[in-house]
Amino acid sequence: MFWWERNNLRLIQTNLREVDATLNVDQLISDLKEFSANTLMMNAGGIFAFYPTKLKYQYQTPYLKQDLLRKVIEETHAAGIKFIARFDFSKAHESIFKEKPEWFYRTKDGHEVNYNGIVHTCINGYYQQEYSLKMIEEVITEYQVDGIFFNMFGYQTSDYSSNDYGICHCQSCQTRFKEMYQLELPLSNDRSSESYKKYKEFQWKTTQEMLGSNS
């Protein structure tokens, strides 16, 4: 039986900004105890790394002055609190887009979605398919985490202001859809369209494949 099945979770989740790399850990632990929390979920990597990463394409927040991830894990464990590492691979820093544009989401007109320096990635691109595993491996190898969590997994088409940019038309999506269905990607969300119906099936199958499910 896993630890989370033996105990009721009293979980606190952070959603750290880049500047929160200077977080007061002692105050955090004090607050967790005050709330009687037994589990903390905190940002580890993905959009921003809150630890000194060795990976070229894992963007590390420039505000990091210490290994925040290690210190928080050590302090939570000392307080008898479990730690879940939070990752978000749905987006990446624009500096990575400049070097590896083929890893990112594209509108039907070929444009990226850049939201204040954070660019949408694609579930079928190398960043999510392969490079994300390197980030996970780095964290679970170097740090004693009790679990991991993926934020905003799947086909994300809207930005943080709820602007919807439609179906991804990156080369990875175009190629994979063509190989699976011998069709071009649909240009709209027309539910009566046969190509859109196939596209919804495509989303389901590719998502389940990435999750390792055979169902």
Q: What is the pLDDT of residue 162?
A: 94
pLDDT at 126 > cutoff 50:
yes
Q: Tell me the per-residue pLDDT of 143-199, one tens digit each, with 9 for 90 and over.
A: 999 999 999 888 999 999 999 999 999 999 999 999 999 999 998 887 888 889 999
Q: Which two tokens stand for residue 43?
A: 């940002």
**Confidence (pLDDT) at 9:** 84
Q: Kindly report the average pLDDT of the chain as a whole number.
A: 93
**Distances in Å between the alpha carbon of 29 and those of 4, 12, 52, 76, 157?**
20, 11, 22, 7, 36
pLDDT of res. 152: 85
pLDDT band at 213 (very low <50, low <70, confident <90, very high): low
Q: Which positions ≥6 away from 2 have C-beta within 8 Å?
A: none
Sequence ranges of the domains in the chain = 3-211
- State which CATH number among 3.20.20.70, 3.40.50.1110, 3.20.20.80, 3.30.56.10 fits the domain covering 3-211: 3.20.20.80
* Tokens of residue 114, six digits: 């850049």
Estimate the crossing angle of helix 194-211 against helix 171-181, to 10 degrees. 110
Q: How confident is the model at residue 215, as a pLDDT?
A: 43
Q: What is the mean pLDDT of residues 92-105?
A: 97
Is residue 214 scored above 50 in pLDDT?
no
Specify whether the CB–CB gap between 27 and 44 falls below 8 A: no
pTM listed for this prediction:
0.89
